């Protein structure tokens, strides 16, 4: 080994380093994004970049993504991040395709969360304040968070009209909302009805489905006997002899609804039997056959402590109904209630007989309507019983009433059993307290499945592209089963439902009156509803002369006198407000956008939320759908695929992640995972993405580093057809093609994969390695070198564009470095003003040969590794590639043509061609055989050919000699023009 000539023994080596064209660039390897990004942002501000982009030419016309408004409350979280980044990526991509893509961010500013926050701040002071004063505080609160979130979004590199966003609290927006309401009134799609709605007794308001959260809740469940009046109807003979007393056994988890009981529902298909207690002292019980065993076990432990047994045959539910034996109301003995049939009665739990209180349950209500039962709801807004109930319950809080009712039942021997159960139960999204169903007078949009509105929505749905495709199934399914939409809320922070009542109780809410109020509020803001008198708001006496409000209790053609009107105090559901943005923004606050957005892009939860409220409203009066495409993304989960939440401690804060990684890394993370499903995120994953970012950045740096003396206008040169350059261009073309297709299909994780693997494999492991020798060692102006530099430039230019929608800061930084190069000064200042270039295409005939050469390279690498282990060969430059080619002339000529390229792709010192039966390669340790070139470090036979440079290979000797001459001839021109 010692006999091998080594580099260190060749002292002149150091002297040659100055004759090399080593990479040079001011572009730093370390990104330091946390510091750098804000300076880039500041630069964009100075350049007024977003406005510049909007003002430029857009040959492909307008393309609008309409922003779904986040709630103006709290700091932004990862959910905001993915949504806004995805939107921004789409918009930047479209912009670079030549579209005009204005982005108007919006905020949902009204609603309970803000009002609750203010209430909490105010405490008891609240009572002394007028709605207007409270609204002022709510407004300030909302605007504060709009401002805060706005800054956070901009920090993420999101472009948009942040100086002129849409806010649901502006008068113009509010006007738009009311105009939509007027349109729906015009088409008789709004009605008023007494109906059970989800009700929060703490916040004293009706709640929408979207305002509920389900959580475990402990309830007292009871088995209660509703004693039958056997003097009426006919005892089913199948039950055996008629007992002296009998009862329907019901099971409920809400004993407090017993006062409102109006019927017992049975399943028409279910079979019922009669249980008799052995002693005969207690009433016989009617239960579903399938539930009998469970009931007997439970009852045995109950207050009656009795054993029951089955007597007689079973009868079906409809037979039970037909028997028409009423029962005595559990709390009002004199009231007789019927047995009715209902499809929803299941045998999964309970007794198969359902206590039905039409004023306190959705299904109960429907049953109540069908059987014309009283929709009775004796509970006040604050959750206390009114005066219509039994005396011992009047004024009682319902949650406290359970025990009183149970005691009452026990005293009257009507409680068969009682237990505490834990089950999932709806809670108010704000105060997190359990909610109830309570029948009240509310405003509804006719949106249940029999409404014409729903048919129109179904039609719209078919004309929308849903991504992923199952979005359509999902929203269609929801639509098919949805109830009418309760749009009234008993709060102050929102858009008022501009209904008036006169002293006779007639209600004024018509398309005309609402349109009139819309104009007024559009001028004076919704606050004016609370401050200004009806005659000022409406302007003149008013007639109910257009669409009647069904069930509003107003006679046709009733004449209202504005001085006799009182303003209603309900406001609209916030979902109605945001759902109106298709008009209030696209045709109202920002009419340049126009109705019918190209894209809505939100989390998949919005199938029930914004997409649906938008569709329902638009279907009420528009002929075209409000969006052409709906794209949904999933939710953030942790490394284990579990939901992120503060309570489990697996949540990642945007501000922390931003501080640690910078916006571009976070954006790259968004692009790296498949957002169609849940998006995994963890510290480890972000670190991984950070590494990917560094690889991409370093690739840019390497390419830039090799272009320091490249002038596009002078040096651009076509590579030789057999060169690795051609292979590289071909790969670039293919990558560009697929990456742009991936953008077009919103497949951003494919964009990421393409770019990242391209950096790792095509550029770094293959191309950069192969062209090192020619870039570093050739004469600066050698065609071979210039051709590779040109390819480096093309790579850089293409990749920086492909990265730009995602890596908004880094791409801009690279772009500005690119502009500094010679001969290409016409580029726009920022990458975000650039357009995608035409695709690079390379004729494929010669390219196909490269699959064969790459196989040889792979085998060569394995052999180099074996040589490394076997004989300690550390450097491929000390090896010779022996390319074995078939003997025919064509193969031999191919081998000699591609030999030098294969040598370079392997990073070998030299190559030689041999004849063999088939294509093969053999790597040979030539440390004993050849000398290493002191300049290129290639170990090859032609070292020392030039006697003037005995330590150099032929190529290097020529180069050094040429450099020597040029420096001595033109001593004022430096060899390398770096810096």
Partner RNA sequence: GGGCUUGUAGCUCAGUUGGUUAGAGCGCGUCACUGAUAAUGACGAGGUCAAUGGUUCGAAUCCAUUCAGGCCCA
Q: Please, which residue, 674 or 820, has the CB nearer to RNA?
A: 674
Nearer to RNA, 604 or 788 (CB): 604
Q: Identify the H or E element spanning 554.
A: none
Which of residues 237 and 871 has its CB atom nearest to RNA in the complex?
871
Q: In which region does residue 383 sit, left (phi positive, over 0), alpha (psi from -120 to 50) or beta (all else)?
A: left
**Terminal CA-CA length for the chain:** 42
> In the complex with RNA, which residue's Cβ is closer, 589 or 604?
604
- Of the two residues 359 and 603, which places its CB atom closer to RNA in the complex? 603
SS3 760: helix
Question: Smallest distance, Å, CB 901 to RNA?
Answer: 16
Measured from the CB atom, is 16 or 576 closer to RNA? Answer: 16
Beta carbon nearer to RNA, 274 or 475:
475
Tally Cβ neighbours within 10 Å of residue 42.
10
Shortest distance, position 698 Cβ to RNA, whole Å: 5
| Phi, psi angles (nearest 5°) of residue 277 | -80, 140
Tell me the three state secondary structure of residue 390. Answer: coil
CA distance readout (Å), 152 to 75, 84, 305, 499: 8, 11, 65, 39
Mutual orientation of helices 849-871 and 889-906 as an angle, nearest 10°? 50
Q: For RNA, which is the closer residue by CB, 534 or 690?
A: 690
Q: Please give the C-alpha separations between residue 58 and each of 52, 102, 164, 305, 790, in angstroms, as whole numbers.
A: 12, 11, 22, 83, 29
Q: Supply the minimum distance, in Å, between the C-beta of residue 86 and RNA.
A: 13
Of the CA atoms within 13 Å of residue 481, those in its CB half-sphere come to 8
Report the nearest approach of RNA to the CB of residue 120 (Å): 24
| Smallest separation (angstroms) from RNA to the CB of 768 | 3
- Least CB distance to RNA at residue 17 (A): 4
Instruction: Compute the least distance from the CB of residue 83 to RNA, in Å.
Output: 13
| Residue number with CB closer to RNA (131 or 705) | 705
Q: How far is CA 338 from CA 227, 270, 324, 372, in A?
A: 12, 17, 7, 11
In whole angstroms, how close is the CB of 863 to RNA at the nearest point?
9
Which stretches does DSSP call E strand in 136-237?
166-167, 190-200, 205-207, 212-227
Alpha-carbon span 315 to 292, nearest angstrom: 14
Instruction: State the CB neighbour count (10 A cutoff) for residue 851.
Output: 9
State in angstroms the smallest separation of the CB of 804 from RNA: 20
Which three-class secondary structure string do you get for 539-551? CCCEECCCCCCCC
Pick between residue 422 and residue 843 the one whose CB is nearest to RNA.
422
Q: State the Cα–Cα distance between residues 523 and 466, nearest whole angstrom.
A: 38
For the range 512-519, what are the long-range contacts, defined as Cβ-Cβ under 8 Å and sequence gap of 24 or more? Answer: 512/182, 512/542, 512/545, 512/546, 513/538, 513/542, 513/544, 514/178, 514/181, 514/182, 514/185, 515/178, 515/179, 515/182, 516/542, 517/178, 518/174, 518/175, 518/176, 518/178, 518/179, 518/181, 518/182, 519/175
The distance of closest approach from Cβ of residue 6 to RNA in the complex, given in angstroms and rounded to an integer, is 10
Q: Say if CB 151 and CB 163 are below 8 A apart.
A: no
| Block residue for tokens 């922003």 | 67
For RNA, which is the closer residue by CB, 622 or 774? Answer: 774
* Complex with RNA: residue 556 or 641, whichever CB lies closer: 641
Residue with tokens 């009420």: 620
Q: Least distance to RNA from the beta carbon of 972, Å?
A: 26
Nearer to RNA, 418 or 953 (CB): 953
Bridge partners (DSSP) of residue 940 are: 931
Our CB check for RNA shows the closer of 17 and 335 to be 17
Q: Which residue has 């991936």 as its token pair?
A: 742
CA 894-898-903 angle, 5° bins: 140
Buried b (16+ CB within 10 A) or exposed e, 508-541: bbbbbbbbbbbebbbeebbbbbbeeebeebbeee
Q: Is the CB of 13 or the CB of 193 nearer to RNA?
A: 13
We find the least distance from the C-beta atom of residue 368 to RNA, in angstroms, to be 16
Q: Which is nearer to RNA, 343 or 684 (CB)?
A: 684
Structure tokens, 946: 């030039």
In the bound complex, what is the minimum distance in angstroms from residue 197's beta carbon to RNA?
A: 10
CB of 336 to RNA, least distance (A): 28
Tell me the two tokens of residue 663: 């916006």
Q: Name the residue nearer to RNA (CB basis): 532 or 605.
A: 605
Q: Which of 285, 611, 677 is nearest to 468 (CA)?
A: 677
**Burial (CB count within 10 angstroms: exposed 0-12, middle 13-18, buried 19+), residue 231:** exposed
| Residue 284: CB minimum distance to RNA, A | 31
**H/E element holding 355?**
strand 353-356
Considering the complex, state which of residue 26 and residue 642 has its C-beta at the smaller distance from RNA. Answer: 642
Q: Least separation, in Å, of the C-beta of 403 and RNA?
A: 25
In the complex, what is the shortest distance from the CB of residue 657 to RNA, in angstroms, rounded to a whole number?
15
Q: Are 73 and 145 in contact (CB under 8 A)?
A: yes
CA distances from 492 to 462, 529, 530, 749 (A): 38, 11, 9, 44
Q: What is the 3-state secondary structure (H, E, C) of 269-295?
A: CCEEEEEEECCCCCCEEEEEHHHHHHH
Q: How many other C-beta atoms lie within 10 A of the C-beta of residue 842?
A: 19
- Minimum Å gap between C-beta 474 and RNA is 4
């Amino acid at each position: 080994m010692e006999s091998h000539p080594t580099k260190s023994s060749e002292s002149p080596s150091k002297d040659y380093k100055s004759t090399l064209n080593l990479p040079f660039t001011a572009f730093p390897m370390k990104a330091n994004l946390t510091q750098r990004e804000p300076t880039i942002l500041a630069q964009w501000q100075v350049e007024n970049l977003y406005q510049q982009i909007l003002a430029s030419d857009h040959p492909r016309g307008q393309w609008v993504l309409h922003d779904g408004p986040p709630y103006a409350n709290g700091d932004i979280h990862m959910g905001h991040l993915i949504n806004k980044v995805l939107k921004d990526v789409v918009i930047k991509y479209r912009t670079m395709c030549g579209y005009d893509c204005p982005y108007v961010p919006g905020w949902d500013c009204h609603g309970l969360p803000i009002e609750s926050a203010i209430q909490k701040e105010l405490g008891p002071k609240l009572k002394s304040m007028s709605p207007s004063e409270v609204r002022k505080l709510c407004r300030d609160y909302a605007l504060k968070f709009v401002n805060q979130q706005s800054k956070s979004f901009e920090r993420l590199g999101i472009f948009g009209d942040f100086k002129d966003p849409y806010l649901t609290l502006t008068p113009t927006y509010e006007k738009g909302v009311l105009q939509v309401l007027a349109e729906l009134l015009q088409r008789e799609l709004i009605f008023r009805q007494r109906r059970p709605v989800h009700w929060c007794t703490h916040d004293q308001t009706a709640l929408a489905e979207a305002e509920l959260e389900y959580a475990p809740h402990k309830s007292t469940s009871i088995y209660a006997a509703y004693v039958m009046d056997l003097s009426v109807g006919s005892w089913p003979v199948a039950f055996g002899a008629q007992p002296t007393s009998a009862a329907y056994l019901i099971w409920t988890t809400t004993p407090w609804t017993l006062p409102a009981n109006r019927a017992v529902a049975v399943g028409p298909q279910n079979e019922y039997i009669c249980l008799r207690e052995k002693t005969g002292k207690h009433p016989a019980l009617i239960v579903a056959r399938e539930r009998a065993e469970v009931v007997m076990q439970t009852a045995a432990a109950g207050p009656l402590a009795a054993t029951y047994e089955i007597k007689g045959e079973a009868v079906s539910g409809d037979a039970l109904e037909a028997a028409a034996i009423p029962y005595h109301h559990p709390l009002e003995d004199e009231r007789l209630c019927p047995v009715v049939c209902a499809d929803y009665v299941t045998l999964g739990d309970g007794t198969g007989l359902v206590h039905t209180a039409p004023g306190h349950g959705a299904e109960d209500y429907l049953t109540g309507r069908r059987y014309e039962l009283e929709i009775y709801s004796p509970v006040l807004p604050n959750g206390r019983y009114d005066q219509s109930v039994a005396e011992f319950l009047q004024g009682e809080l319902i949650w406290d009433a359970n025990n009183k009712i149970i005691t009452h039942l026990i005293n009257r021997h009507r409680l068969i059993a009682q237990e505490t159960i834990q089950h999932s139960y709806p809670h108010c999204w704000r105060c997190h307290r359990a909610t109830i169903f309570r029948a009240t007078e509310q405003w509804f949009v006719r949106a249940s499945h029999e409404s014409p509105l729903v048919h129109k929505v179904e039609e719209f749905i078919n004309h929308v592209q849903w991504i992923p495709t199952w979005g359509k199934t999902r929203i269609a399914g929801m639509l098919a089963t949805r109830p009418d939409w309760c749009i009234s809320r008993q709060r102050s922070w929102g858009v008022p439902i501009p209904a008036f009542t006169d002293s006779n109780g007639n209600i004024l809410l018509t398309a005309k009156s609402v349109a009139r109020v819309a104009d007024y509020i559009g001028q004076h803001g919704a606050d004016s509803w609370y401050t200004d008198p009806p005659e000022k708001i409406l302007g003149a006496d008013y007639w109910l002369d257009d669409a009647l409000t069904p069930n509003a209790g107003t006679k046709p053609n009733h004449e209202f006198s504005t001085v006799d009107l009182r303003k209603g105090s309900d406001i609209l559901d916030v979902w109605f407000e945001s759902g109106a943005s298709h008009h209030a923004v696209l045709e109202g606050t920002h009419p340049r956008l126009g109705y019918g957005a190209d894209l809505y892009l939100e989390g998949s939860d919005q199938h029930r939320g914004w997409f649906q409220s938008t569709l329902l409203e638009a279907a009420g009066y528009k002929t075209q759908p409000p969006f052409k495409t709906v794209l949904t993304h999933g939710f953030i989960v942790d490394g284990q695929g579990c939901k992120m939440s503060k309570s489990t401690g697996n949540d990642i804060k945007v501000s922390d992640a931003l501080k640690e990684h910078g916006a571009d890394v976070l954006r790259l993370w968004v692009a790296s995972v498949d957002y169609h499903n849940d998006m995994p995120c963890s510290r480890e994953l972000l670190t991984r993405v950070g590494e990917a970012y560094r690889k991409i950045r370093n690739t840019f740096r390497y390419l830039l580093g090799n272009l320091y003396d490249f002038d596009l206008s002078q040096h651009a040169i076509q590579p030789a057809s057999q060169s690795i350059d051609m292979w590289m261009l071909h790969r670039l073309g293919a990558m560009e093609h697929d990456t742009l297709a991936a953008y077009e299909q919103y497949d951003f994780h494919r964009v990421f994969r393409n770019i990242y693997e391209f950096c790792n494999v095509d550029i770094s492991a293959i191309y950069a390695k192969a062209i090192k020798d020619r870039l570093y060692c050739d004469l600066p102006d050698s065609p071979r070198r210039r051709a590779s530099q040109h390819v480096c430039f093309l790579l850089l230019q293409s990749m920086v564009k492909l990265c730009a929608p995602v890596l908004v800061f880094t791409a801009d930084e690279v772009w500005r470095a690119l502009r500094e190069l010679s001969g290409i000064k016409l580029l726009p200042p920022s990458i975000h003003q650039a357009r995608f270039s035409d695709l690079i295409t390379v004729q494929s005939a010669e390219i196909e040969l490269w699959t064969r050469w790459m196989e040889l390279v792979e085998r060569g690498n394995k052999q180099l590794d074996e040589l490394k282990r076997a004989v300690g060969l550390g450097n491929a430059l000390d090896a010779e590639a022996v390319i074995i080619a078939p003997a025919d002339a064509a193969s031999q000529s191919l081998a000699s043509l591609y030999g030098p390229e294969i040598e370079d792709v392997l990073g070998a010192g030299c190559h030689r061609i041999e004849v063999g039966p088939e294509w093969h390669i053999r790597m040979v340790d030539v440390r004993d055989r050849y000398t290493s070139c002191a300049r290129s470090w290639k170990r090859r036979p032609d070292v020392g050919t030039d006697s003037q440079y005995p330590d150099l290979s032929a190529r290097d000797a020529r180069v050094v000699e040429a450099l020597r001459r040029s420096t001595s001839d033109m001593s004022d021109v430096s060899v390398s023009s770096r810096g």
